[in-house]
Amino acid sequence: MAKLSVLGSINVDHVMQVSAAPCGGQTIEAKHYQIVAGGKGANQAVAAAKLGADVAMIGCVGSDAIGEQMKRGLADVGINIDGITTIADENTGLAMIYVEDSGENRIGIWPGANGALTEAVLAEHQGTIEASELLLLQLETPIQTLVTAAKVAKSAGVKVVLNPAPAKALPEELLRHVDTITPNESEAELLTGIAINELSDAGLAANHLHSQFGIEMVLITLGKRGVWLSHKGEGMHIAGFTVDAVDTTAAGDTFNGGFVTALLEGKSALEAVRFGQAAAALSVTRMGAQSSIPTRSEALTLLL
């Protein structure tokens, strides 16, 4: 069985490259348009697979042509897709993305079939989680299913990594079953009430997550400032790579995929963060979500 199980969203992304996102009532003309595979769950699964992990995906697609296309794309990079359920009379999830010249993006999501990833669907694939070494979660599917999945994993001795994105309030029942959490600055603030302006604030937010919920490892991604890594209250700042960003759409997903891949290979937390950072740095130099994710050899070359 796969060492890594990823439970999460599967989307089709409609991406427009623009000088700046439109204001209210404004119509603009895009410089470039493409349809690419996306969804945080699928992005992180693809990142892990391309970077060297043995991955199984648990998720839902619609009974439409794009859903079958998304499944084929995941299988093509070596992901086990037995855990992907096709939902009758539903469309595959969709994201509309504006990518600005600065590399920043504005994203709107329609969940579609992702909303049908219920506890009943999860129960059909519980064995996949129990047979893995690590479960990776995000927040584009129903929260109660995530709670149940985390409990299943913990009962089986499987490590749980939660990327709490997109930002939303979370029940303590979920957070108390998480071993590692990987929020960005805004997500960390929502979870802790601590605004992260200085590196010391990241340390305070990490300590809050340790003490309040018993989370062993906290990684707060700080964009260009790098990552704050805290293990059981011992924190350190890890600087990132300097690159010319073109599109930041899948940077966080690529980081998470790379980070868990390195952990599964027995690397230290610091080494795992650096590997994730290298992969994410390369991803922002390219357009798209899954299409921007680098190969393992590319990420390793950047680390040299």
| pLDDT of res. 59 | 98
Per the listing, tokens 């600087």 go with 239
Q: For helices 40-50 and 251-264, what crossing angle results, to 10°?
A: 50
Q: How confident is the model at residue 282 (pLDDT cuts 50, 70, 90)?
A: very high
Length of the chain: 304
Of residues 117, 99, 102, the one with CA closest to residue 13: 99
Residue 155 labelled as part of a binding site:
no
pLDDT in the model for residue 199 = 95
Residue 244 is among the residues annotated as catalytic for this protein? no
Tokens of 144: 């109660």
Sequence-distant (≥ 6) Cβ neighbours of residue 206 within 8 angstroms: 188, 218, 220, 228, 230, 233, 235
Q: Residue 149 burial (CB < 10 Å; 0-12/13-18/19+)? A: buried
Known binder of ligand: residue 214? no
Instruction: For domain 4-10+39-90+116-303, give the CATH superfamily.
Output: Ribokinase (3.40.1190.20)
- Can you give the pTM of this predicted structure? 0.93
The 10s digit of each residue's pLDDT in 134-171 is 999 999 999 999 999 999 999 999 999 999 999 999 99
**What pLDDT does 1 receive?**
59
| Mean pLDDT, rounded, for 193-217 | 97
Backbone phi, then psi, for 135, in 5-degree steps? -115, 130
Residue 80 annotated as lining a ligand binding site = no
Q: For residue 77, give every residue at least 6 positions away whose Cβ sits within 8 Å of its Cβ, in sequence order, or none.
A: 46, 49, 50
Cα(21)–Cα(28) distance, integer angstroms: 8
What are the residue ranges spanned by the domains of the chain?
Answer: 4-10+39-90+116-303
The Cα 247–Cα 283 span in angstroms is 8
41 is in an annotated binding site: yes
Residue 246 — very low, low, confident or very high, per pLDDT cuts 50/70/90? confident
Which candidate in 64, 179, 201, 253 is catalytic?
253
Annotated binding residue at 163? no
